[in-house]
Structure 1
Amino acid sequence: MTQPPVPFQAHDSGAYLHGTKASLAVGDLLGPGFESNYEKDRISNYIYFAKTLDAAAWGAELAAGDGPLRIYLVEPTGAVEDDPNVTDKKFPGNPTMSYRSAEPVRVVGELEGWAGHSPEQIAAMRHGLTELQRAGKAQIED
């Protein structure tokens, strides 16, 4: 049985991971310019990815759309920086291994057979994000 994601644990592959509902192929490029998963109507200036299944699963689970949840193995085509929305605001030192780039990432494979968060965890995360937006605290540094 596949285990659910563990926070702060790098994926065994060591690869960068990107969670989404988009159907992509090896060689496709993912880049900035799409709606943020975390703030409705915000077009992102960066592409976000991580080295943990936990963070990538959140990306897939919170992505807009109705497609199947997917996690892709990606390689950056440009400079990589720590995701400031997580690193210094919530988890100093970047234990989530969350990153972003203003340049595209290339899909090099798809992670199969992964387990995500429980429906209760997803509902709690969505509720928390809604509450942050309602309180005017959903500030994304982008």
Structure 2
Amino acid sequence: MTNEPTPFEVHESGALFHGTKAHLAVGDLLVPGRDSNFETGRRANHVYLTATLDAATWGAELAAGEGRGRIYIVKPTGRLEDDPNVTDKKFPGNPTHSYRTREPVEVVGELVDWSGHSPAQLQAMRDGLEKLARQGVAVIDD
């Protein structure tokens, strides 16, 4: 892939994705109760996933930790709900096709042929998130 991901575009495979910097293997389970990808010192009560390459790419690029971002193809084992952090608060409905679950999510593969956002877009997102954190409004509803 050579193009940046397109916002709100469901991946043609119909797969669900999880973006992170964690190194995982096929068969691994993502479970709630582990360190949050996005808030240091916080335990995540949910596992987050998406049907869009754009949202998964943001997850991979913005996740805490060292190493390269990774996008895993995942299969939920239980019920999904819309992710309230991006649905209705930021976008009416769920155009990002972002979900969360309190059930395990199984890694079934890794998407290795993906392109990230431009350096300018990535820096703008980081700057915006830092500004929200300084204002005390960068709260994750988990």
TM-score per shorter chain, which class?
over 0.9
- Per-residue CA deviations over 1:43-88 (Å, capped at 9, x if unaligned) read 1100101000000001000111111211010000111000001001
State the one-letter code of the partner of 1:88: D
Identity %: 66
AA in 2 matched with 1:32: P
**1:30 alignment counterpart:** 30
What SS does the corresponding residue of 1:18 show, helix, strand or coil? strand
Distance 1:133 1:90 in 2: 16
Structure 2: gaps (5+ residues):
none
Alignment: residue pair count: 142
Once residues 4 and 62 of structure 1 are traced to their aligned partners in structure 2, the CA distance between those partners, rounded to angstroms, is: 15
- For each residue in 1:8-65, what CA deviation from the matched residue of structure 2 results, as whole angstroms up to 9, or x when unmatched? 0001110100011111111110112233233332211001010000000010001111
What is the aligned partner in structure 2 of residue 91 from structure 1?
91
Partner of 1:47: 47
Match of 2:60 in 1: 60
Distance in 2 separating the partners of 1:85 and 1:60: 17
Describe how 1:65-80 pairs up with structure 2 within 5 A. 65-80=65-80
Report the counterpart of residue 136 of structure 2 in structure 1: 136
Name the CA distance, whole Å, in 2 between partners of 1:58 and 1:110: 16
TM-score (norm 2): 0.95
The aligned runs of 1:101-140 (5 Å cut-off) are 101-140=101-140
Instruction: Give the Å deviation of 1:2.
Output: 2.2
The 2-side partners of 1:72 and 1:141 are apart by 23
The CA RMSD measured in Å over matched residues stands at 1.1
